[in-house]
Amino acid sequence: MPYQFEDLKKSCHSEWRAYIEHSFVAQLGDGSLAPEAFQHYLKQDYLFLIQFARAFALAAYKSPTLSDLRQAKEGLQAILDVELDLHINYCKEWGISEQELANLPEARATIAYTRYVLDAGNRGDLLDLHVALSPCMVGYGEIANWLNSRAVTKRGDSNPYDAWIAMYESDEFQQAMHAEIRWLDDRLADVSPARFSELTRIFSDATRLEIDFWEMGLKQSD
Ligand SMILES: Cc1ncc(C[n+]2csc(CCO)c2C)c(N)n1
């Protein structure tokens, strides 16, 4: 049986569920999350996005084919030209100025996660890097779908976090998520059991670091 992305999730099922169904996420869904926790998360996510732009630049460097190179360039461009601006505007709506974003210290959880991804890509190949990126690329789409499947999730004006959910349930985001899963499924089909086992380590590490990122938001830790 060829390996698939789904097998990476199965290899660390409880960590994956702990990430997708984290109390930060559940509280965001029912609207009970403390605004200070969300603001802390938004600020750190700005720093996270900058490091993720570097990870896409690394993906370009690690690309063996022109098509991979173009895909990495699209990812880098999307973050630099679209997502960072959206994030800056969204932060403004939450009372966080661009000036404040520019002067933020990185929380330890942000450093740990982003530098882990960059290191996994640096020491490995493009597949290692994509596997390290996949909890981010796939997880947030799954989170939006999980929230929408729950009766306690509030949508619309009664939930101050509605726009966040809307972003990750959008067709555009869901399509990008499926494109990433397809890319991984194609590559994973050819790997040996020993190689798959190496990749499960990277996937479960990145998933645990996503859990720590939610914890950092909830506890507003630095
Ligand atoms: C901690 C954290 N994890 C994942 C995402 C989601 N995300 C960040 S960059 C990117 C892909 C680039 O388009 C996606 C899906 C986030 N914002 N923050």
| Residue 15 banded pLDDT, cuts 50, 70, 90 | very high
Residue 152, helix vs strand vs coil: coil
Within a domain: 25: no
Give the Å distance between the CA of 195 and the centre of ligand 1: 26
Cβ–ligand 1 contact at 78 (below 6 Å) = yes
Cβ–ligand 1 contact at 136 (below 6 Å) = yes
Active site annotation includes 136: yes
Q: Would the pLDDT of 124 be above 80?
A: yes
Within a domain: 137: yes
Active site annotation includes 210: yes
Q: What is the pTM of this model?
A: 0.96
- Predicted-complex ipTM score: 0.95
Q: Would the pLDDT of 192 be above 80?
A: yes
E strand or H helix at 6, and its extent? helix 5-11
Cβ–ligand 1 contact at 56 (below 6 Å) = no
Is residue 75 packed enough to be buried (19+ CB in 10 Å), middle (13-18) or exposed (0-12)? Answer: buried
Q: Which of 91, 136, 142, 180 is catalytic?
A: 136
Within a domain: 196: yes
CA dist 205 and 117 (Å) reads 9
Domain residues for the domain of 97 are 34-219
Is residue 139 packed enough to be buried (19+ CB in 10 Å), middle (13-18) or exposed (0-12)? Answer: buried
CA dist 87 and 98 (Å) reads 10
Give the Å distance between the CA of 70 and the centre of ligand 1: 19
Within a domain: 112: yes
- Per-residue pLDDT tens over the stretch 133-185: 999 999 999 999 999 999 999 999 999 999 999 999 999 999 999 999 999 99
Look up the CATH number of the domain holding residue 135: 1.20.910.10
